Amino acid sequence: MGMTEYVHANLPCGIEYGVQPLPQRHVVTFQLRILSGTAGEPSEKLGLSALIEETLDKGTEKRGGRELSDAFDALGAACRSGTGRETTTFTCTVLPEHFEEAVSLHAEFLRTPTFPDHAVQVAIDLARQEITNLDDDAQGLTDKLISLQAYGPVMGRHILGEHHTLAAITREDIVRHWRSDYHAGRMVVAVAGSVTAGRVEEVFEKYFSGFGSTKSQGRRPTSIEFLPATTHRHKDLEQEQIAVCWPGVDATHADFPVQQVVLGILSGGMSGRLFTEVREKQGLVYWVAAWQDTPRGYGMIFLGASTTPERCDQTYRTLLREVDRLAEDIEPEELERAQTGILASQDTRGDSTRARCGELASDLFYYGRPVSPEEKTRRIQAVTVNDVRRYLAAFPRDRRCVVTVGPKPLGVSDCK
Amino acid sequence: MSAINPYTLRTLDNGLRIVIEHMPYVRSAAAGFLVLTGARDETRALAGVSHFLEHMMFKGTKKRHWREITLTFDRMGSTYNAYTSEDRTMYYGWVRSADLAKQIELLADMLRSSLPPDELDMERKVILEEIAMSKDNLEHLAFDFLQEKVFAGHPLAWPILGYDETVGSMSRDQMWDYFQRRYTPDNMMLVVAGNVEPGAVVETAEKLCGHWPRSSNGHVRVPPRIHAGVDALKVDRFKQQVVVLTFASIGAADPAAETAAAVATILGGDNSRFFWNIMQTGLSPRAGVAHLGYSDCGLMMLYAACQPEKAEDVVEAMRKEAGRITHDGVLPHEVARVKSRRRTSLAIESEAPYYRLTQLMDDMEYRGSPRTVEQMLADVDAVSAESIRDYLERYPIHVGGHLAGVGPRLWPKGG
């Protein structure tokens, strides 16, 4: 099997794009990433980005929201969108014969939305309901609270905003923010599937030529503010939610593959240390996990679990002990197992066109270029036991954020 | 999508059915054992035993300690798991094609579990945590409540996880007895999809599973009676109210199952009547319709989450939409778009072995044989405005049904 092939360039209209042609596939997936998210919202208008995402397709200069949705459905397009801290994404999978029409429909709502008054009011009303509803979602609420501590008041914002900021948002605010941030210079497009690079270039240039500024923007990281503390939110629940985090490395750091392997050892499968020690040996939890989150320029390691209140302290102690113990007694066999897990997952998921597109989009965002599976494989395979020890020494978890949500606070505030 | 039949079907002498789909264009393969037992096959006293057993299958065999089971999965880099439903228990692993034989061997060994007595209480604690977690989830709580009422008096009323008291007191002997009766080769299937050599898979299966003893158990599932009525559960710790209208429907094996799915999509899927006429009026941030197909019965479930004070308005709006689709029928473009979307989703699902595995399991369980993508498309094409009208005449959703409310308000009863 030869090296994976990509095309990566900029279109005259200003869009940066990457293509992975997969001619044997039956579908095409493309992702349009607008480099604008919650971190760029005015502080008194939080929630603006998600409202734009929600209302963009509720009407265009050419047709109403229902007609637009019907046009997508006529193509059988499988679409989804999402708002993040630094980007807003629109992902679409279609049969190859509908590729151009699907791109043209995206261009229509991204370029000529009318933001109907009624749709804006409904979106604001529903967002306010969702903020209230977040209280019913113990894990979602925990994520919201720890994000604020991990990233500070700008990068730690929740996508829904707050009740008072939503109340301050008008249709004019939405239009103004869309005009400022939705243009070709802030667009990154990833395409994978049964389509040629030439066809991608032709179609995107045709539909996005003249879409605002061609100047490259939105590519610099936003600073985070890490606020180590232990906090508790009382809620009358059966279980206590526990979340812990501390800074790690960002996706472009030389030690990023080491971090991936560390997470694989801790939480890469049922033989991972956390699952084994917290669940299998002590029966403390049903779910436990370690994961990373990597805004551009930063990395954060998270541990999470939920357990009944009387077992919360023991769970918390075990979580932290396992991270410490890793530096003391890592075995070459578990390093190898974690590496295999990462690489096998890359291979199996690679059979999905959507997964290929997602991977390419992520590489363009973090690295500014496609990164082949072969290169990723080499970097993971190069990680050694000494790398893991060095990484764990360089990124200690002494300064950490801890959030619990449930009936009682932790009884152990600073155990190591 | 090829018109060539890519399937290999075999039945071993002991009754174990094997179905294999050869996907030469992928690099991976998925294998799974489907056990035709689930929560509905339990007694009330043993509610949760199917799910408890699913956990215990990872806890050890004569050949492997539990630690060796998880290590073997992870040494292959397998994406693996198991789940239990009302009708089935499934164990699967998705690996690089070269590791398929090892994956099948591991799964086959697990299903001859020794149910290690010293692991039972540890796993009991894990499941009690899982039950506690489920109680903190409003939608899980509402769904369990709904099933308890709609299927009252029938095993489908038990929650899949069981109850604190049944899981807390279940003995190994009781579990072993259920295991011996239900995990027999004539009650199981081995399903494989991916870049595989079918002959080698059959040979592996024969060697690993061919000696498993066939059972003579005559367990027969009895279809439930589906109850109408009104029930409410007040739970103060939640802010939202979940309201659910439920009606009798067809099972997953019924030839009209695609039509029932189309009704659910037109009424309550993306770009549906519920989306535009309920969510986009600000009544509810989450409203939809689902067709739940079991092996011998089904439910059509109209649901929404809303502010407690809006519950009446939301239910009225759902009933209004149910009446409109019944009396006025559906528009040709509504049917056409369901078909278009289904075509794309079939193309997406046909790419990756794990997704094909789950489709094959559905086909094998409910139809007894796999369908090619062309056959699935033909079933989708058979959906029409007329078939939808016929379905709604046979299974009306505009009158009667069961109404449930779960949330901080005791509504509809006494609200």
**Residue A354 counted as domain residue:** yes
Instruction: Please choose, from the candidates A88, A151, A370, A379, the residue with its C-alpha nearest in 3D space to the C-alpha of residue A257.
Output: A379
> Could you tell me if B18 and B206 are in contact, meaning their C-beta atoms sit under 8 angstroms apart?
no
Q: Does residue A252 share a domain with residue A199?
A: no
Task: Tell me if A145 is assigned to some domain.
Answer: yes
The burial of A363, by beta-carbon neighbours within 10 Å (0-12 exposed, 13-18 middle, 19 or more buried), is given as buried
The count of structural domains within chain A is 2
Q: Indicate whether A223 belongs to any domain.
A: no
Report pLDDT digits (tens) over A116-142: 999 999 999 999 999 999 999 999 999
Task: Report CB contact under 8 Å: B285, A130.
Answer: yes
Q: Does the pLDDT at position A146 exceed 90?
A: yes
Same domain, A379 and A278: yes
**A2 in a domain, yes or no?**
no
Q: How large a percentage of chain B has pLDDT more than 90?
A: 93
Same domain? For A124 and A268 the reply is no
CATH at residue A81? 3.30.830.10
Determine the pLDDT at residue A50.
Answer: 98
Q: What's the pLDDT tens digit per position in B356-408?
A: 999 999 999 999 999 988 888 899 999 999 999 999 999 999 999 999 999 99
| Mean pLDDT of all residues in B203-210 | 98
Predicted local confidence at residue B281, as pLDDT: 97
- Pair A184, A314 in one domain: no
The shortest CB-CB distance from A344 to any of B95, B130, B279 is to: B95
Q: How do residues A45-95 score in pLDDT, each as one tens digit?
A: 999 999 999 999 999 999 999 999 999 999 999 999 999 999 999 999 999
- Tell me: the pLDDT tens digits for B242-258? 999 999 999 999 999 99
Please report the domains of chain B, with CATH numbers, ordered by start residue.
Answer: 7-209 (3.30.830.10), 229-407 (3.30.830.10)
Tell me what percent of chain A is helix, strand and coil, each rounded to the nearest 5.
Answer: 50, 20, 30
Q: What confidence score (pLDDT) does residue B358 get?
A: 94
When CB atoms are compared, the residue of A126, A286, A353 closest to B285 is: A126
Nearest chain B residue to A140 by CA: give it. B137
My answer on whether A186 and A260 are in the same domain is: no
User: A195 and A314: one domain?
Assistant: no
Pair (A175, A308) in one structural domain: no
Tens of pLDDT, residue by residue over B40-95, are: 999 999 999 999 999 999 999 999 999 999 999 999 999 999 999 999 999 999 99
Cβ–Cβ contact A69 with B under 8 A: yes
Domain boundary among A179, A208, A237: A208
Q: At B26, list the tokens.
A: 């992928």
Find the helix or strand (DSSP H, E) in which A288 lies.
strand A288-293
Residues A201 and A300 in one domain: no
Question: According to the model, what pLDDT value does residue B218 have?
Answer: 75
What tokens appear for A108 in the block? 């229509």
Maximum distance among all Cα pairs of chain B, rounded to whole angstroms: 64
| Residues A383-398: tens digit of each pLDDT | 999 999 999 999 988 8
Please name the residue of chain A whose CA is at the shortest distance from the CA of residue B276.
A66
Q: pLDDT (tens digit, 9 = 90+) per residue, B258-304? A: 999 999 999 999 999 999 999 999 999 999 999 999 999 999 999 99
pLDDT for A204 equals 98
Q: Are A404 and A232 in contact (CB under 8 A)?
A: yes
pTM, two decimal places? 0.96
> How confident is the model at residue B4, as a pLDDT?
60
* pLDDT of B2: 43
Task: Look at residue A301 and tell me if it is in a domain.
Answer: yes
| Residues of the domain holding A248 | 229-406
> Domain check: are A165 and A264 in the same one?
no
Say whether both A376 and A248 belong to one domain.
yes
State ipTM: 0.96
- C-beta neighbour count of A190 within 10 angstroms: 30
Say yes or no to pLDDT of B1 above 50.
no
Residue A413 falls inside a structural domain: no
A215 lies in some domain: no
Is the Cβ pair B280, A341 closer than 8 Å?
Answer: no
The confidence score (pLDDT) of residue B216 equals 67
**Kind plus residue range of the DSSP H or E element containing B338:** helix B332-349
Judge whether residue A412 has pLDDT over 90. Answer: no
Quick one: closest CA in B to A132, which residue?
A: B239
Section B203-225 average pLDDT: 91
A173/A240 same-domain check: no
For A351, the closest of B27, B99, B240 (CB atoms) is B27
pLDDT at A312 over 70: yes
Q: Do A251 and A395 sit in the same domain of this protein?
A: yes
Contact A66 B276 (CB under 8 A): yes
Helix (H) or strand (E) holding B182: helix B172-182
Q: What is the pLDDT of residue B413?
A: 76
DSSP A37-92: -GGGS-GGGTTHHHHHHHHGGGBBSS-BHHHHHHHHHHHT-EEEEEE-SS-EEEEE
Distance CA A283, CA B83 (A): 19
A60's CB contacts (< 8 A; 6+ apart) are: A68, A108, A109, A112, A113, A114
Residue A246 lies in a domain: yes
Q: Which of B76, B128, B348 faces A344 most closely, judged by CB atoms?
A: B76
CB spacing of A283 vs B124 below 8 angstroms: yes
